[in-house]
Chain A
Amino acid sequence: MPDSPAPKTPEPGTGPRGARPEGIGRGPGTLLLTLYGIFTVGAASRSVVQLTTRFDEAPLAYLLSALAALVYAFITVSLVRGGERARKAAFACCCVELLGVLTVGTWTLLEPSAFPDATVWSDYGMGYLFIPVILPVTGLLWLRRSRRSHS
């Protein structure tokens, strides 16, 4: 799918090896893509375990974990696909992600009792070395810059 020529979003060229199109998934985007991939796997498996084994304990936290996993998965796929539409979609998702981290982070600090168990976004992602809050900011900067270099 990522290699087939998309009708609406012509790529300026392919990478030196022709493996993937140039753009949002190349260069620094590779690192970003990997980190999003790791967080997708992490958040998704975590929420699957939590939702299937002990949903009643902290439904809000576990549903938020699942939401986070979905957002991460969507951004990962967008970065792999590349192209202008994927870039816009990923940009929107990074905004959602940043908003999510900030909201959940503040919420867990103000009202810890609502969260008997932690989510990926609790305390601004402190349990994950603050990567959950750094990632969307980096993502937004990168996606903005790659637009400028393309159009």
Chain B
Amino acid sequence: MRPSYTLPMLTPLTVVLAAAALALAAWCGWAAYRDQPTKDWHFIGMAVVTLLALVQLVIGIVLLARGSDPAEGTAIFVAYLAAVVACVPVVGLISLTERTKWGSLTVVAGAVVLAVLQARLHDIWGGGSGA
């Protein structure tokens, strides 16, 4: 395995994605605190986070194709990458049907889950031990 294509390459993106998700959570949490539903700007924020998740999915698959081997198995790794992508769009749609602060709180929950998934993802590919 060439060192230039290993899974730890994902670390910076993982950190950025987790931070973006937590920022989205805080933002929508603020909307919920002010008793407001999600607005256009929140959806743009969700789109940005989803886009980052898609980039992560593509890079992850490319790294796998180049021969990287996640510590906990390829299937689980791909499943987590897919779950990360699905997370925010799903809660975004739910918040469209629930135009109250509870819709905003739902997005908060989804974004926090995404951040937690990032931490798990780090473990799955072998994290600090250098897979």
Contacts and interface: CB of A to CB of B under 8 A. Distances in A.
Interface residues of B, number: 17
A31 B109 CA distance: 8
Given A31-B106, A34-B106, A41-B83, A17 B113 contact: no
A30 interface: yes
Contacts of A29: 102
Nearest to A53: B73
25 contacts: A15-B97, A16-B99, A17-B97, A19-B97, A20-B97, A26-B98, A27-B98, A27-B102, A29-B102, A30-B97, A30-B98, A30-B102, A30-B103, A31-B105, A31-B106, A33-B94, A34-B91, A34-B94, A34-B106, A34-B110, A38-B110, A38-B113, A41-B83, A45-B79, A49-B75
Between A28, A34, A35, the greatest number of chain B beta carbons within 10 A of the residue's beta carbon is seen for A34
Contacts, number: 36
Contacts of A20: 97
B97 A34 contact: no
B52 to A, nearest CB: 20
Interface string A58-78: 000000000000000000000
A41 B79 CA distance: 11
